[in-house]
Each structure stands twice: as C-alpha cells, then as structure tokens.
Structure 1
C-alpha cells in the first residue's frame, strides 16, 4: 500500500500541499488525483489560509501519469481516470488563494499540468520539463501548455517529447523564477510570507481579475478590473494600504534623518 499520496499541513496562514509518492517519482495515480482535488477544495474554503505552496517529496517533482495502474484496465476506466486528473487540475486552478508550485528534478506530463494549474512556478536549478504524451500513445497537455508557452512551442514540445531545461523554461515563461535546488523550499516559504503579508481581499481580487481578464479582450478586461476596484473600495481595506504606505514612508524619512 502506498503512503498517503498527498500530504497537507498549515503553518500559520500558509498551507503546504506535498506530492508524496517519492518511490515512483511522484507519478500521478488515481488516489493522488482524488487527494489533490480534495485538498484544494478544502483549502479554498479555509478562511485561515492565505497562500498555498505545492511541492513534492523526493528528487523528482512528478514523473507523469502512473502507467502501471492502467495495466489490465479497459477504456472506460482510463477515461474516468483522465476525468479525475482534470478535476484535480481544475481544483488547483479554481482555488481563490494564490498557489505557487515549487518544482525540482523531472517535471513530466501530468506533473507539468499540475505545475501549470498553479498561479506560477518557482523551479530549482535542476528542474526539467517534458511532455511525452503523444509518444506514450495518448493525448495530453494540449491546452494549458499552449496558453503558457505559445501554440508553436507547445506543438514542438509535444511532437518531439524533448526535455526543456530550466533556463529555457524560464525564458519562455513556463517558470517565473529559478533558485538553487538546496534553497527551493526556503525560497518558497519567503515568497509565501511576502504574499500573505498583502491584504487578502486585494490579492484575491487581483487573482480573479487576471484569470477572468485572460479569457477576454482588453476592453472587457478593463471592465473586469473596474468591477474588482469597486469591490475593493466597498470593502474599505484600501485605507489600511494607504496608511501602511504613509507609515512606511515616514519611517524611511526618519531613518534617513538618523543617518
């Protein structure tokens, strides 16, 4: 029996979701799909959580779908298994809290789908990305990948099954930043603390406005942003931000005078 395939814990207002099948390089199986979906539905509803960090145990983030579990299965089972993975990705994507993926080592197939479902990716300098679905006789990553790196690059990656190094992944926008492998978790925790330090409603509205705006043209996107601004003004939390900015400026001037 596998150990719990997805571990969830919280430290203050930061939640940690950990892929936990290191013996098989965190290959995505049905229990992990269910575990991810349940974890993110629960965290989305938890008012005490401000940021979610998604990472993996072991040297690999995720080696893709666990093809071993498909032995002796029929087409109906494989279809339902794929729907379970789509439900997991969607739960990550729909989480109203910022979700940051911390990836290391190989990120393959479904592992890339998990990472791309997050708001952005921080990668260790030993990370690599590969999308071999067509070479495994199946179809996958055709939608998120093209939206992240562009249609032609997505085709090239899927048609060839080549490995993309972390430097190229950063250059094409698949990765937001890179850090030394030994510093990945600590860097993620610092980043999460920075995000959690911002006003929660403003971060949630910003995420929502970006996500909704990406689905329409600029004119409608501006309308979405204005609606978010109106909600922010009605909340009144913007006054705290103005006060914090003013207080910070005053302290900076005082420190300058002291020097």
Structure 2
C-alpha cells in the first residue's frame, strides 16, 4: 500500500483513512488501487469486526482529481473510471460493516465512497455536492438514486446544488450528524457497539439486507431464512440466548 490510504487494526476495528490532505483527498488512480488493496486486506483478516472509513484533514474528499487527466486520452480516462468503480465496489462488498465518518466537503467521488459504506456519520458543517454533469461527465447516477430516490438524485446531479449535513440526514445519505470534535469518538463508539455482536450474525445480516433490497419481499424472506439456517448450523445463537438469560438484554 502506498501513501494515499492508511490501514490499521485495533481491537477488531479496522481504520481505513484517506491520507492525501494536501490535495483535499481527491481521488486519483493510486488511491483507487490502494482502496481496493485495503479492503481486500480487511476482508482477509478474520479478526476484523467492523471498518471505520475516514479521511485525514478538514476535507473528506474533494472528488476526482481532474488534474491527473491532463494530456490523457479517452482510453486512459476510461480505465481510470473503471478503477474508481472497482474501489467503490470493494467498499460495498466488504463482509464487515463499513461506517464512513465524513467532514468538510464531500464531492463527487467522495459521495460515491460515502454511499458505498453501509452507513455514514457526518460532522456539522459537512457539505455534499454531486457535480459530475457540470464537469462534462457522468457519475453518481446509481448509488445516489438508490439512497434518496430518483427525483431528488436528478435535482442534485442536474443543478450541482450543495447539500448540507442536516439535509443529508433528512434524505438518509447520513444517519447521524455530530459536532466536529465528536466525529471520531462517535465513530469509535458505534464501532464498539457493532463489534459486540457475533461476526457471523452481522455478516449474514448485512448480506440479507443488501440482497433483499434488490428483490421482492417473498424472495427477501427466503434470503433471511437461509441466513437463519446458517446461524442455527453455526450454533452461535446459543451464546446470544445465554447472554440474554444472564441479564445482558442488549
């Protein structure tokens, strides 16, 4: 891994951090590659229970680094876009829950990274923008509409209007807004809460929600029943019953 993304694991919590603050954490080709590598490493580590995805500096991500495209041909840009899709998919496919902690500007690719996480917590003052059409390209057309609906996604993409943290919370792009100095501690507390649950149950829950969202209710129930069967076969559910019986009702 290079100097664009930092990965560390402490007490079962993986910390994946964008570390290009001098460029406002703009996404370039090396960052795409390093994000893929980081999440592949996380998925291979059986000790990891949850991932916190954050960024160093005052800006979470200023979007794609358009400067790196200077002098490049269409074929190069196409390969670069495919690399970014691979990075978002690596975040989304992670078997562990991924919680994004965002602050400052969250633009274009930064929004895609946020939406690829399972959910996101924002600092007050965070502002989202999805300016791809205004840059003469296309992006954020799929995850954004799935998160907030087609009509609102079109409005944000067509107009390039900023979306503040309160509106992002209302629309469901983020699930919580906290004071800037509480972002890291809130993320850590959330990660600890997730890490308390049996990892198989969490992984199967994540998969059931993701797959169920792509189908009808009847098939979704069958997906959930399949997950329940895996939990029953594993036997870990007995530990949950024992904890509840012993007074730990959480």
TM-score interval for Structure 1 and Structure 2 normalised by the shorter chain: over 0.9
TM-score normalised according to structure 1 size: 0.94
Question: Matches of 1:230 and 1:133 in 2, distance apart?
Answer: 44
Larger Rg: 1
Question: Matches of 1:248 and 1:80 in 2, distance apart?
Answer: 55
**Structure 1 residues 63-85: Cα deviation after superposition (integer angstroms, max 9, x where no partner):** 00000100000000000000000
> Residue 8 of structure 2: SS of its match in structure 1?
strand
> Residue 182 of structure 2: SS of its match in structure 1?
helix
Matched, 1:215 2:238: no
Shift of 1:24: 1.1
Shift of 1:209: 0.4
The residue that corresponds to 1:70 in the other structure is: 69
The residue that corresponds to 2:161 in the other structure is: 162
Matched, 1:4 2:3: yes
Aligned residues: 249
Question: Matches of 2:232 and 2:180 in 1, distance apart?
Answer: 41
**Structure 1 residues 198-248: Cα deviation after superposition (integer angstroms, max 9, x where no partner):** 111110110010011011000000000000001111110001001111112
The residue that corresponds to 1:91 in the other structure is: 90
TM-score normalised according to structure 2 size: 0.98
Question: Matches of 2:40 and 2:247 in 1, distance apart?
Answer: 37
* Unaligned stretches of 5+ residues in structure 1: 253-259
> Residue 96 of structure 1: SS of its match in structure 2?
coil
The residue that corresponds to 2:147 in the other structure is: 148
* Unaligned stretches of 5+ residues in structure 2: none
The residue that corresponds to 1:46 in the other structure is: 45
> Residue 248 of structure 1: SS of its match in structure 2?
coil
Question: Matches of 1:131 and 1:110 in 2, distance apart?
Answer: 8
1:169-188 aligned within 5 A: 169-188=168-187
Shift of 1:178: 1.0
**Structure 1 residues 1-60: Cα deviation after superposition (integer angstroms, max 9, x where no partner):** xx7000001111000000011011100000000000110011011101010000000000
**Structure 1 residues 158-199: Cα deviation after superposition (integer angstroms, max 9, x where no partner):** 000000010010001111111111110111011101100111
The residue that corresponds to 2:235 in the other structure is: 236
Question: Matches of 1:248 and 1:114 in 2, distance apart?
Answer: 39
The residue that corresponds to 1:113 in the other structure is: 112
Shift of 1:249: 5.6
| Structural RMSD (CA) | 1.2
The residue that corresponds to 1:13 in the other structure is: 12
Question: Matches of 1:249 and 1:221 in 2, distance apart?
Answer: 30
The residue that corresponds to 1:257 in the other structure is: none
Question: Matches of 1:249 and 1:211 in 2, distance apart?
Answer: 29
